[in-house]
Amino acid sequence: MAELKIKSKDPESLRRIIESALSERLHSVQAGIKKTKERLLSFEHQYQLSTEEFINRFNNDELPHSFDFDEWIGESRMLEHLQQTKESIEEIHFVD
C-alpha cells in the first residue's frame, strides 16, 4: 500500500479538511451507487433480464442494438466505476 505525506503548518486542520472531503465524496459516490442500481433494476424489470444476462446476450449479438441497451450498458459500467471508487475511498487510512 502506498503512503502519501503532506506537510502543513496546521496538520490537524489539514487532516479534518481531508477527512471531510473524503466523507463528502464517499457520500456522493454512495448516492450514485444507489441511483445507478435503481436504474439497472428498472431495465431488468422492463426487459425481464438480469444485467449480467443482458450483457452476456448483448455481447454474443443475441440482442438488437437500441438506445435503451446503450444506456443499460453505460449504467452497468458506471456502477462498476462507482463501486471501485467507493472501495478506494474506504481503503484510505491516516497514519501518524
pLDDT at 96: 75
46-78 pLDDT tens trace: 999 999 999 999 999 999 989 999 999 999 999
pTM for the structure as a whole: 0.88
- Which residue in this structure is represented by grid cell 455481447? 59
11-47 vs 51-59: helix crossing angle, rounded to 10: 70
Most confident residue range from 10-14, 26-30, 92-96 = 26-30
CA atoms of 13 and 78, how far apart (whole Å): 34
